[in-house]
Structure 1
Amino acid sequence: MPDMDRWPTSRLLSTAARLVELAWNEKLRPLGLTYPAVLTLDTVATAGPITPGKLAQSVRVQAQTMGPLLSRLESRGYILRQPNRFDRRSQLVSITEVGLALLEQSHRLESIVLSAVKLDSDGLREELLAIVRHAP
């Protein structure tokens, strides 16, 4: 076992994030979802109809990464892509009723992921928000 007490905070944060994502994906697998899919559905549900480019920015991924994910979500009936009536060169992505129902199921699973870890969730959440808001 590596000497994690000597790891810099950034390495601990990165490792913790990967481990949480792996655990989250394990819980989501029976629903046919992945963590990036949940982030995408959540953003579409919150933002309403949104262009793929703005969606990629919100989820903080490259636009090229978003295309295949949207294709999978659309083929399963979780989202709709329709022409943008204000800009015919682009599309708008919206969530379907099936997508909303699946998103609600995934949110119920979220608390299970870290349930075995005893931590100050509110304090950690505030610190993580500060990192996300102020990171370059």
Structure 2
Amino acid sequence: MSYRNQWPTNRLLSTAARLVEHAWNEDLASLGVTHAGVMALDVLQSEGSMTQAQLASQVRVQAQTMGKTLHRLEAHGHVTRSRNERDRRSHVVAISLAGERVLADAARLEQNLLGGSRDSDEQFRDRLVEIIAAHGGARWRREVEDGRSRSHGAATADRGAGALAEGH
């Protein structure tokens, strides 16, 4: 019997999450994006253009951290930034066609990351959402459930649930 078979469930979950995150980051590097970049692109694609501060809030990071992510995305042509017409002190960020393509490529990589069938993936995701809802408090539970109802049955997985679980 393998020693890992004796690990408590929380250790298995934590280890699996770290290993998947490392593999995911390696796969994303081949596309020239980071996990943070994919999360930003995903929000921009689903919610539309917005200011850097709004995007940072949606992804749950500091505006300064988002600035670094957006600089990299802009350098690769994945986003565009233009002066905010309502407030000239800020910029509006939008996903570009190149950003949409890299997001689709990232979704395919993510789909292949865990293996298994679409049905087993959906069951696994449902269980992860239950765990997050049970341990994430009322604020996180509502946001995870809202995100799940919007994306349930969609071809692209909701990467936001991972950020909610990590507290980003």
TM-score range, shorter chain: 0.7 to 0.9
Within 5 Å, which residues of 2 pair with 1:91-130? 91-115=91-115, 120-130=120-130
- Determine helix, strand or coil for the equivalent of 2:50: coil
The residue aligned with 2:18 is: 18
The residue aligned with 1:46 is: 46
Separation of aligned partners in 2, 1:12 and 1:20: 12
Q: TM-score, normalised by structure 1?
A: 0.81
- Determine helix, strand or coil for the equivalent of 2:30: helix
More displaced 10-residue stretch of structure 1: 100-109 or 11-20: 11-20
Q: Could you tell me how far 1:54 is from its partner in structure 2?
A: 1.8
Percent identity reads 43
The residue aligned with 1:32 is: 32
Aligned residue type for 1:126: D
1:73 aligns with 2:88: no
| Contiguous gaps of at least 5 residues in structure 2 | 138-168
Q: Could you tell me how far 1:43 is from its partner in structure 2?
A: 1.1
| Contiguous gaps of at least 5 residues in structure 1 | none
Separation of aligned partners in 2, 1:36 and 1:58: 12
Aligned residue type for 2:42: D
The residue aligned with 2:149 is: none
Q: Could you tell me how far 1:94 is from its partner in structure 2?
A: 0.2
- Determine helix, strand or coil for the equivalent of 1:93: strand
Separation of aligned partners in 1, 2:54 and 2:108: 27
Separation of aligned partners in 2, 1:77 and 1:55: 18
